[in-house]
Amino acid sequence: MKDNDLRLDGNAAGGLLNEIFPFEMTTAEATCRGCGTTRLFGEVMFYRHEMGAILRCVDCDMALIRITRIHGYYRLDLSGMSYLRIATGGHQHGTGHLQ
């Protein structure tokens, strides 16, 4: 199977992210440690496979989040982000490329 067969946009990761985070992650903003671009998670590339999932920067392909589920636990590697910004309940995000 080719990478393109496994690739979806970040909105497809919504269900998995909602299992882990108690808020809407597709509207959270991530800044890529590789290229410095800030995007909503709904815009990043999502790769799901048997071992877990990876959310990647669409600009430089850096792995922003790696997720595995082993023995009833999630393991998250968030090292591909320099920061993650999550809106509080009443704040609405804009859309599109942020930087």
Residue 14 confidence (pLDDT) above 70: no
| pLDDT above 70 (res 49) | yes
- pTM, two decimals, is 0.72
Residue 1 scores a pLDDT above 50: no
The CA-based angle 11-57-24, given to 5 degrees, is 35
Pick from 85, 9, 79: nearest CA to 42: 9
Collapsing DSSP states into helix, strand and coil, what is residue 26? helix
* pLDDT for the residue 93: 52
